Amino acid sequence: MTDLRWGILATGGIASAFAADLRTAGLNLVAVGSRSQASADAFAAKFDIPHAHASYEALVNDPDVDIVYVSTPHPMHHSAAKLVLEHGKHVLVEKPFTVTRAEAADLQRIAQERGLLAMEAMWTRYLPHMIRIREIVDSGVLGEIRAVTAEHTQKISDDPRHRLNALELGGGALLDLGIYPISFLWDILGAPEKVTATARLGETGADTELATIMTHAGGAISTTLTSSRAVGPNTAAIIGTDARIEIDRVWYVPTSFRVIAADGEVRESYESQVDGRGMQYQAFAAERLVRDGILQGDVLPIAESVAIMGTLDEIRAQIGVRYPSEEYDNG
């Protein structure tokens, strides 16, 4: 590893989870930036971080920081990541990468111009069970992949002031929860050729339930279900002509899966053995990419993150959700 020196921008719940996993993995977490000194100090004390900054600008100007993890609410991802890149530091941006495809493409351009890594923190893709699943798919033992299905359903809050219901904070089930199954479908089947979406909108106009059906190259079909108001099985499956993979609850965190042949024989069983939540694996990947000079990414290239945001744009257009913070033409 390059032993990159990590900074964290913003101090919410996901930042705490990431910091805890960095510490578990023994990575070099040196700084945190918040909008207040008190918040930065409290976060730094909790995770034994030497530098606590009272602004994002102070964090990105810290000469001891090489790479920054951005964990702000969705609408601030673009401006925060842009700030990091323009100060010459690599950036790992919490999912979804941005709010729109245009914002994502702008970050891609800046990163390329400056020779820096900009990477979406879709941490699920880097988990050991997902790596093994990709190996199985690539081996051809499933036969022709005919369908993929995945869901992400949680009962979170119906309070209109909650961030998940606030359009000004990028609220809605799609960007917060649906990004997981949508990214998974892209990972296994590639870009969709046709997207059909339907949704239920809540009191604030944010989507609370969402379903998609997509057609991919070769005719493969994918389906997703997302909800922020009810909990389902939260499983996923990859269905081939010779065998299928069934991923257990909860499929997007460290879990188990089975490879089951068409005749019902279990060909492989996998059980995850992961310390902490597992967010450290994306940090390992970022350090490897910087070390090897692969600044476009490989497991999730930035071009794919940009394209996935395009799919989310299309879904939102179909269900009639638009955010006040959108500054770029979705086209």
Given 79, 101, 121, which residue is the final one in a domain? 121
pLDDT score for 328: 45
pLDDT score for 56: 98
pLDDT for 41 beyond 80: yes
**Domain identity same for 173 and 255:** yes
pLDDT for 330 beyond 70: no
**Domain identity same for 98 and 133:** no
Q: What is the rounded distance in angstroms from the CA atom of residue 155 to the CA atom of residue 162?
A: 13
Rounded mean pLDDT of the chain?
96
**Domain identity same for 111 and 224:** no
Is 265 a domain residue?
yes
pLDDT score for 51: 98
**Domain identity same for 103 and 160:** no
**Domain identity same for 166 and 259:** yes
Is 55 a domain residue?
yes
Which range marks the domain in which residue 214 is found? 128-271
Q: Which residues of 157-187 are buried (b: 16+ CB within 10 A; e: fewer)?
A: eeeeeebbbbbebbbbbbbbbbbbbbbbbbb
Domain total of the chain: 2
Per-residue pLDDT tens for 193-225?
999 999 999 999 999 999 999 999 999 999 999
Is 277 a domain residue?
no
Is 325 a domain residue?
no
CA distances from 208 to 7, 61, 143, 323 (A): 33, 39, 36, 15
**Domain identity same for 256 and 141:** yes
Q: Is 274 exposed, middle or buried (0-12, 13-18, 19+ CB in 10 A)?
A: middle
**Domain identity same for 132 and 102:** no
Q: What is the rounded distance in angstroms from the CA atom of residue 30 to the CA atom of residue 143?
A: 47
Per-residue pLDDT tens for 219-273?
999 999 999 999 999 999 999 999 999 999 999 999 999 999 999 999 999 999 9
Q: What is the rounded distance in angstroms from the CA atom of residue 174 to the CA atom of residue 180?
A: 9
pTM of the model: 0.95
Given 248, 271, 294, which residue is the final one in a domain? 271
pLDDT for 114 beyond 50: yes
Is 260 a domain residue?
yes
Given 58, 88, 121, which residue is the final one in a domain? 121
**Domain identity same for 171 and 145:** yes
Helix axes 13-25, 37-47, angle to 10 degrees: 30
CATH code at 43? 3.40.50.720
The answer to whether 81 and 108 have CB atoms below 8 angstroms apart is no
pLDDT for 64 beyond 60: yes
Q: Is residue 8 helix, strand or coil?
A: strand
**Domain identity same for 132 and 112:** no
Is 279 a domain residue?
no
CATH code at 263? 3.30.360.10
Is 165 a domain residue?
yes
Is 294 a domain residue?
no
**Domain identity same for 190 and 224:** yes
**Domain identity same for 266 and 154:** yes
**Domain identity same for 143 and 265:** yes
**Could you give the count of Cα atoms lying within 13 Å of 63 in the half-sphere of its Cβ?**
0
